[in-house]
Amino acid sequence: MNGTEPLVSVRNLRKEFPIRKGVLSRQVGAVKAVNDVSFDVARGETLGVVGESGCGKTTTGRTILRLIEPTSGEIRFEGRDVRSMGTSELRALRRGMQIIFQDPVSSLNPRMTVGAIIREGLTIHKLAEGAAADARVRQLLQEVGLRPEYSNRYPHEFSGGQRQRIGIARALSVEPKFIVCDEPVSALDVSVQAQVINLLEDLQRDHDLTYMFIAHDLSVVEHIADRVAVMYLGKIVELATAEDLYREPLMPYTQALLSAVPVADPHARKERIILQGDVPSPANPPSGCVFHPRCHHPAKDAACASIVPPLEEKTPGHFAACIKQPPTTVSWEQQREVGGVHPPERYLPLAAVHA
């Protein structure tokens, strides 16, 4: 992956949703759902994106695909600028970038047969017609582990796990290179989750796919992702390989997140970092570091409320946005100028580490 161009490249992506009030629907504010996000996804890798509700991970996924139009920023797929594409170019692009959804119920049109659902991509992009299309549909069904005879049936006749498989087959039908997996297993039972996760991994191997795997379940993400980005209130606050992140989380939010995951081991340490309060509203994010009101870092001070921490490399390949975790490019002088009293110091609570 070194030296080759990333498959997907995102720079300074922003998406704001206007808040309208009044009879004339005047804009009074904006929800900064995605607030200056930048990352690359290398060919063949799985980038995990985790965060809690309201962090902007789903919006980021859909904005990359231009299912939601970004407010500003740059998106590149195979080096080409996605934002400037016209309608027909964009349609051709859709073959390369696909998406799998969270809700198995609402993501399939209840009035179409399974076969029609899967065939639609082939029809739109003129990839196959008639008998050839039927054959391809049957082949796709088999690949996702469903019997080919099912193409005549309707979605309501299937279970949640089977419907997700249908959604996966639909995404695969246009032979994409990149798939945004938007919480694909969150709505499924544990044992069915495992089936679908294994399927996604097998398909990745067989078709050389690249995934952006969005989830809130940290254990699932750790299992499937190569690198993980942690999002909070529209920003990426940490980015590292899965191993590094889980072994040494640097950003205090990540530490709290990891310590909050219930561990299926009664003997595991019960000490935990409990965050105070709720996630602030994305319409009114805190100043400076958006996490500072709830942060437990011992060096937290007034500087954190003024300075927006850059996402910077702390150890090779491991990025975190925290001016109190050294090394940092925000100098101590700069911090003192805005009221900083505690110099940066490395802090890694045991409660956050999963050995």
- Looking only at residues 174 through 213 of this chain, which bind other proteins when binding is defined by CB under 8 A? 174, 189-199, 201-203, 206
Region of 30-38, 41-49, 87-95, 322-330 interacting with other proteins (CB under 8 A) = 87-95
Least separation, in Å, of the C-beta of 60 and other proteins? 15
Which range in 5-13, 167-175, 331-339, 341-349 contacts other proteins by CB under 8 A?
167-175
In the list 53, 316, 333, 350, the residue contacting other proteins (rule: CB under 8 A) is 53
Closer of 30 and 351 to other proteins (Cβ): 351
Q: Can you read off the two tokens belonging to residue 257? A: 């997140």
Two structure tokens written together for 226? 């190569």
The yes or no reply on residue 136 touching other proteins (CB under 8 A) is no
Is residue 333 a contact residue for other proteins (CB under 8 A)?
no
For every residue of 66-87, DSSP letters joined together read TSS--SEEEEEETTEESTT--H
Distance of alpha carbon 97 from alpha carbon 221, whole angstroms:
21
Pick the stretch among 40-48, 255-263, 285-293, 322-330 that binds other proteins (CB under 8 A): 255-263
Give yes or no for a contact between 179 and 99, defined as CB atoms under 8 angstroms apart.
yes
| Alpha-carbon gap, residue 280 to 301, rounded angstroms | 19
Residues 6-35 binding other proteins (CB under 8 A) are: none
Of the CA atoms within 13 Å of residue 347, those in its CB half-sphere come to 20
Q: Does residue 111 belong to the site contacting other proteins (CB under 8 A)?
A: yes
Q: What whole-number distance in Å separates Cα of residue 131 and Cα of residue 134?
A: 5
For other proteins, which residue of 14, 43, 83, 125 counts as binding (CB under 8 A)? 125
231 binds other proteins (CB under 8 A): no
Q: Which of 39, 150, 211, 291 binds other proteins (CB under 8 A)?
A: 150
Q: How many residues at the interface with other proteins, by CB under 8 A?
A: 90
At closest approach, how far in Å is the CB of 139 from other proteins?
12
Among residues 102 and 325, whose Cβ is nearest to other proteins?
102
Q: How far apart are alpha carbons 322 and 54 in whole angstroms?
A: 20
CA distances from 280 to 73, 88, 271, 322 (A): 24, 40, 25, 18
Alpha helices in the chain (DSSP H): 57-64, 87-93, 114-124, 130-143, 160-172, 190-207, 218-224, 242-247, 252-260, 302-306, 332-337
Q: How far is the CB of 159 from other proteins (least distance, A)?
A: 4
- From the CB of 333, what's the least distance to other proteins, in Å? 34
Regarding 270 and contact with other proteins (CB under 8 A), the answer is yes
Looking at the Cβ atoms of 158 and 319, the one nearer to other proteins is: 158
Instruction: State both tokens at 237.
Output: 């606050």
The residue (of 232 and 319) whose beta carbon lies closer to other proteins is 232
Q: Which stretch binds other proteins (CB under 8 A): 6-14, 76-84, 156-164, 310-318?
A: 156-164
Q: What is the rounded distance in angstroms from the CA atom of residue 200 to the CA atom of residue 328?
A: 38
Q: Which of residues 302-321 bind other proteins (CB under 8 A)?
A: none
Element (H, E) at 214: strand 210-215
CA–CA distance, 287 with 305 (Å, rounded to integer): 6
Residue 94 or 336: the one with the smaller Cβ distance to other proteins is: 94
Min dist. Cβ of residue 89 to other proteins (A): 11
